[in-house]
Amino acid sequence: MAIDSGYTDDLRLAHLLADDADSVTMARFRAEDLKVDSKPDMTPVTDADTATEEAIRRTLKRARPRDAVHGEEMEDTGWGPRRWVIDPIDGTKNYVRGVPVWASLICLMVEDEPVVGVVSAPALGRRWWAAKGDGAHAGKSLMSPKPIHVSGVTELSDASLSYSEIAEWVDAGQGQEFVDLMRQCWRSRAYGDFWSYMLVAEGAVDIAAEPELALHDMAACSVIVSEAGGRFTDIDGNDGPHGEGAYVTNGLLHDAVLAQLRP
């Protein structure tokens, strides 16, 4: 498999970090003694979340001691142009309830641009990854890649839309606009979280959107969608994972989605 030589080692390391994450998350998934607390924003955090981020950070400290790290559950460390962005368990609410739709998200950003991303969903038996300039792939490991690409759907009436929760759009003051978009699309389903964006990257879904997200929710997904030929913007149409939320499409439908949902 041809890989951009500038990020070959970083992509391999990202897969090793995902292996670390998988070993921790799967060992605690559906554990009867799983410890669940509430963060200040009232979202859940488990002992698996913190243990997974700690495992990833330990490996990074050995392998990339000069790189900065930003994670969901722990304080930022380091500084400089290279920064790893980690969401140890995206979909913690699913994880807590025993629903297998959750993943560890790992991204390397250079000068704030996502250049390597890995999304690992071990309970689904799936992993997706991308390195800048090399396209996007899916498979069980780096040694078994399958190239993935977004769909060629050009009309909203033929499009499949994935989202997380309608309540989020109501809270954002865009409930009616989002429902109108749903009605314009051929099909809508709440696959939610990382999976929505990976389905766009694979061409199984054409549109995914959430009005409020953090960098750790979006960074890894953004490079995979972009390398698969799609477009990943914030709610104002700015490319990349730096805004309030994410509007993600196969690219061909992006202007139509922005016209419907732009605040």
User: What residues are designated binding site for Mg(2+)?
Assistant: 72, 87, 89-90, 217
* Closest to 17 measured CA to CA, from 149, 137, 144, 127: 127
53 near 88, Cβ under 8 Å?
Answer: yes
Give kind and range of the element (H or E) at residue 42.
Answer: none
CA distance 211 to 197: 14
Q: Are β-strands 126-131 and 68-71 bridged in parallel, bridged antiparallel, or unpaired?
A: unpaired
Are the C-beta atoms of residues 119 and 21 closer than 8 Å to each other? no
Q: Which 8-state DSSP code applies to residue 157?
A: G
Residues 119 and 140 sit within 8 Å (Cβ to Cβ): no
C-alpha 114/C-alpha 105 separation (Å) is 12
Q: How far apart are the first and last CA of the chain?
A: 42
| Residue among 241, 247, 245 at smallest CA distance from 260 | 247
Q: Which of 193, 35, 211, 191 is nearest to 103 (CA)?
A: 193
What span, in angstroms and rounded, lies between the C-alpha atoms of 108 and 219?
8
